[in-house]
């Protein structure tokens, strides 16, 4: 199977349906979603609580298997991959930023940020050097050896961003990345995400219920009850053909 992210748009979703079975009850979280996300687009999936945003993100990022339909990332049909293939694909091509930061509490900032490089076959020394460069970029040059519990929420999320972007993944998924942050820190964190994405032609899929977050997006896709009810493009972005690894 090809795993090279060379073909097509960043993400293509066809006839996607997701049902959860709870005892005798069936919850239809996504009904029939069709969607194409261009390379380099900063795309916000917007909707109220329970509209299916996280479910959609989990299918796009191959964190869950769809009930029906397919998801392609960079031309690769990820919904047909097994767990091992998916794990490798995620390590090579995808980055994640979570609302709850999801840092490893027993690792320092540098060690957390260096983690995605473990799979790139780099020495520990060069991984940590790269991690330090990233931490400097997110304004944490004085926090290299702090553990997550010794940092503020905003600082932890900056570590999270440094970790998500360090391996230059083609697509970064962010589920309510500023959900626990104040408005000033939210602006700083979003500016960082946007900056990295533009610099390296990365595609961002951002999930939020907060109308303010839509301001950072090139495109806003609104979900109601598991269906796309509007799809508004503010800036047309399509970086197909650009070499995303070029600095
Ligand atoms: N694992 C699960 N099992 C059963 N039902 C689920 C599961 N995950 C989500 N759901 C249901 O699917 C629907 C969509 O949930 P989802 O988490 O995608 O919403 P959301 O838009 O992300 O909401 P929020 O803004 O509160 O995070 C909800 O009705 C929810 O109860
Ligand atoms: Mg959610």
* Ligand 1 neighbourhood includes 20 CB (under 6 angstroms): yes
DSSP 23-82: TTEEEEEEEEEEEEE-TT-EEEEE--TTSSHHHHHHHHTTSS--SEEEEEETTEEGGG--
* Ligand 1 neighbourhood includes 51 CB (under 6 angstroms): yes
* Ligand 1 neighbourhood includes 54 CB (under 6 angstroms): yes
pLDDT at 230: 97
> What is the Cα–Cα distance from 156 to 135, expressed in whole angstroms?
11
Count of CA atoms in the C-beta half-sphere (13 A) of 122: 16
pLDDT in tens, 78-108: 888 999 999 999 999 999 998 888 999 999 9
Which residue lies with its CA nearest to atom 30 of ligand 1? 50
* Token reading at 172: 């970064």
pLDDT in tens, 134-175: 999 999 999 999 999 999 999 999 999 999 999 999 999 999
* Ligand 1 neighbourhood includes 75 CB (under 6 angstroms): no
- Confirm if 208 and 56 have CB atoms less than 8 A apart: no
Neighbours of ion ligand 2 (CB under 5 A): 54
> What is the Cα–Cα distance from 126 to 4, expressed in whole angstroms?
25
Q: With cut-offs at 50, 70 and 90, classify the pLDDT of residue 216.
A: very high
pLDDT in tens, 3-55: 577 778 999 999 999 999 999 999 999 999 999 999 999 999 999 999 999 99
What is the CA(53)–ligand 2 centre distance, in A?
Answer: 6
* Ligand 1 neighbourhood includes 22 CB (under 6 angstroms): yes
Q: With cut-offs at 50, 70 and 90, classify the pLDDT of residue 246.
A: very low
What is the CA(97)–ligand 1 centre distance, in A?
Answer: 18
Residue with tokens 């040059």: 141
* Ligand 1 neighbourhood includes 155 CB (under 6 angstroms): no
pLDDT in tens, 220-243: 999 999 999 999 998 888 888 665
Q: With cut-offs at 50, 70 and 90, classify the pLDDT of residue 74.
A: very high
Global pTM?
0.92
Domains of the chain, first to last? 42-66+91-233 (3.40.50.300)
Which residue lies with its CA nearest to atom 29 of ligand 1? 50
């Amino acid at each position: 199977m090809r795993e090279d992210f060379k073909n097509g748009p960043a993400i293509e979703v066809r006839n996607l349906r997701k049902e959860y079975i709870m005892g005798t009850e069936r919850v239809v979280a996504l009904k029939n979603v069709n969607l194409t996300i261009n390379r380099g687009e900063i795309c916000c999936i917007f909707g109220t609580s329970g509209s299916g945003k996280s479910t959609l993100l989990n299918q796009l990022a191959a964190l869950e298997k769809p009930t029906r339909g397919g998801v392609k990332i960079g031309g690769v049909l990820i919904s047909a991959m097994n767990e091992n293939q998916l794990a490798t694909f995620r390590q090579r091509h995808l980055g994640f930023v979570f609302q709850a930061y999801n840092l490893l509490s027993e690792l320092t900032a540098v060690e957390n940020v260096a983690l995605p490089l473990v799979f790139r076959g780099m020495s520990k020394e060069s991984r940590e050097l790269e991690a330090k460069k990233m931490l400097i970029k997110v304004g944490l040059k004085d926090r290299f050896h702090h553990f997550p519990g010794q940092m503020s929420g905003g600082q932890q999320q900056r570590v999270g961003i440094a970790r998500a972007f360090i391996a230059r993944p083609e697509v970064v998924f962010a589920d309510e990345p500023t959900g626990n942050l104040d408005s000033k820190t939210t602006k700083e964190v979003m500016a960082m995400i946007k900056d990295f994405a533009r610099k390296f032609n990365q595609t961002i899929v951002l999930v939020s219920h907060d109308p303010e977050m839509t301001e950072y997006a090139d495109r806003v896709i609104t979900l109601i009850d598991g269906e796309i009810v509007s799809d508004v493009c503010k800036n047309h972005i399509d970086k197909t053909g650009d070499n995303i690894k070029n600095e």
